[in-house]
Structure 1
Amino acid sequence: MGAQTPTGRRFQTKQAFVYHTLRAAIMHGEFAPGQRLRTEELAQRLGVSPIPVREALQLLQSERLVELIPHVGARVAPISASSIAEIFAIMEGLERVATRVAAVRLDDAQVKHLSALLTAMDQALQRGHPEQWADLNSEFHLSIAAITAMPLLQELTARILDQWDRLRRHYLRGALAQRLEQAQREHHQIVAAMRARDYACLERLVCEHNRGALMAYTTYLARQAAPAQQTDLVPSEGGASVLISANQAGHN
């Protein structure tokens, strides 16, 4: 029988169970950037042998969520100023292609879908729900990528948005709290430029959108930097409740 997570989802292998449980703990901040991941301890918490834990950590390394350091062990990938810059540089490049191709292919149904997302995002901001806005933001950008009908572009966009998702869960309220209204105005402008097929304007807006977000993060992190000016920025640890609850749920 497959393993089961606290959400009731079942997996056919212990490796898949461990992978998804650890990934959820990292993405939700229950393991902080830079935190050590000890194989034996994780295996004990999850009620499995060390083998599926090692296999899961290797998969997470391929997603750049975990670092495997020779003679040291595994740790959650740190969040540094350079990694933040890399995320937004890649996002900008992907979105310059995605928005341009999507503008060519855009039809009435797709316009309606994007407009509905924008309305929901507007309402989330009005109600003071930044986390809901952030979830919808990911859906918005993924929807634009989907319009291109380019599977590789969609896959790359999903992967880089995963990196942004981890980033924003740690720093959303501090880094982006003052920028959400501006970011939302930019979303409306991007869709308007797509509908008008104004490619020059579209490229400018996408660049400004990503560089504005990057500036918000770097400015916030500079203000929060410790006197020692550490390279890896590690928020306070949030424990490992996903792991504990997963073990308590039981699996075979």
Structure 2
Amino acid sequence: KDTTKAYTQVPHKTLKSKVLVTLVRVEYNGAVLGDSPKAGVLPDGTAEYDFSTSFEYSPDGPNSLDVLVQKPLLLTVLEVVPKEKKKPERITPLGQAVVDLLPLLQGTTLNFTVFAPLYAVSASPSEIFIFVSQGGLEVTVSTKELLLSATQFSSGNLLSITLEAVYSVPDAFTADTQQNCMVCLQIPAAGEKEFPLLFKNGILKADGKNEPLPRPKHWPLGPILAPDALNIPNSFIVGGPYEDEDGELTKSERAQRGSCGTRKGAVSWMLLQWPCEGPE
């Protein structure tokens, strides 16, 4: 069975001559894979971690082809404040980055290296926010053998599905209640059961508010400490004319559809997912 390893290098800057001590936490599919050793930031503003970790890929396990296609690797840079007299060691998140694993499934490579932009966590002080947002993680991901051959990749099906929003939601959907808005799509699979594709953590929008355009598409990771890290690079919702399917709508209902996004509440996702039907 194949494993995936990640090696990280974090450009960063010191703050007010303070020696910043950091570590990197690696997570995948909701599981913590490991923490790197602690490393001080060098005078040139970088920190290097001699660290690797792995997880197991299995066609029938929790990290199957469908999961590898849809979910990126999540890396979190943490500041480690040494313990003092009566104060215990304190660990504070500084920023997060994500790495797309799709290149491993294209049947052409056993490894790849990327520079993943680092995004500051929402609660970062302004000076930390500036320095972290100028940095990134150099990550190498590898497998022992090809997960798919080029022939298998070309004979399979890889779809990209973006869910933008659901409009004119029921009045019972209110922003002041604890609700998790979800949409489930059933993807047909030849000779097999339908594949359920779940979009979670929809954000309820108030009446009369339109989303700005263009706006970035998001990874389906759910809430994380650095929300900007959810943005998929070079992938945006740009708006514009759409070819609508009228179905059984009457003339008056067809006219109402154009304004339902502002007259009543809406739930926004802006999520991109890649359901993958593997080769036979």
* Range into which the TM-score falls when normalised by the shorter chain: under 0.3
Higher helix share: 1
Please give the TM-score of this superposition, normalised by the length of structure 1. Answer: 0.25
Larger Rg: 2
Please give the TM-score of this superposition, normalised by the length of structure 2. Answer: 0.23
